[in-house]
Amino acid sequence: MKFITGDLSGLFIIEPKIFVDDRGCFYETFSKTIFEKNTGFSGDFVQDNESISYKNVLRGLHFQDPPHAQAKLVRVTEGKVLDVAVDIRKGSSTYGQYQAILLSAENKRMFFIPEGFAHGFVALTERVVFNYKCSNLYHPEAERGIIWNDPTLGIDWKTEGPIVSEKDRKLANFDKFVSLF
């Protein structure tokens, strides 16, 4: 696996080594030892999630407050998304900045997002299967978010007229947000 340091401290893009022959391909998607050595993340992933989204569905920007914060290792097994992580660590020099990357079944990239980041994605193909490894269980009372189209953040989602849930349309603007990280 190749670990590429993200634009913001703590983020990593992971490119698996893919073995291809006339039967198909094989690649390792996770090794705790290799992952910890390259990211410094020594926690455990305790919950795996999968979502299916259709073109222009935008999910996010989500996170859980401490002590229920989640680090996430995400990847796409069908389709293509623009995946976004926003730094919400108030002591960070990149607070309020984001990184966006393309994840797809074709490029097989993974994105590691540590605690202290809001996360979201938009489906760029007709159907997307999105997988998450999470370092903490889902706790609805700790769930928070930032509105996807916040003018302070200025995220270019690469889509016109995204489909956003009612819940996500009611999320707070970044300038009204108080970080607990």
Tokens in use for 145? 């978010």
Catalytic residue among 27, 54, 62, 98: 62
State the pLDDT at residue 15.
Answer: 97
pLDDT at position 151, please? 96
Question: Could you give the CA distance from residue 158 to residue 8 in angstroms, rounded to a whole number?
Answer: 20
Please state the rounded mean pLDDT for residues 142-149.
98
Determine the pLDDT at residue 117. 98
Q: What is the pLDDT confidence band of residue 10, given thresholds at 50, 70 and 90? A: very high
User: What percentage of the chain exceeds 90 in pLDDT?
Assistant: 99
User: Is 91 within the bounds of a domain?
Assistant: yes
Residues 81-129 have pLDDT tens digits of 999 999 999 999 999 999 999 999 999 999 999 999 999 999 999 999 9
In a domain, 116, yes or no: yes
- Identity of the residue numbered 150: D
Predicted local distance difference test score (pLDDT) of residue 94:
97
CA dist 108 → 14, 89, 124, 155 (Å): 9, 28, 15, 23
CATH number at residue 79: 2.60.120.10
Q: Is residue 181 part of a domain?
A: no
Whether residue 6 lies inside any domain: the answer is yes
Count structural domains, the chain.
1
What confidence category does residue 167 fall into, taking pLDDT thresholds of 50, 70 and 90?
very high
Is residue 72, in this structure, part of any structural domain at all? yes
**76 pLDDT band (50/70/90 cuts)?**
very high
pLDDT on residue 5: 97
Arithmetic mean of pLDDT over the chain? 97
What range does the domain containing 153 cover? 2-176
Q: Mean of the pLDDT values across residues 67-73?
A: 98
H or E element in which residue 78 lies:
strand 72-78
Of the residues 54, 68, 119, 132, only one is catalytic, namely 132
Reply yes or no on whether 139 is catalytic: no
pLDDT band for 67, please (50, 70, 90 cuts): very high
For residue 137, tell me if it sits in a domain: yes
62 is a catalytic site residue: yes
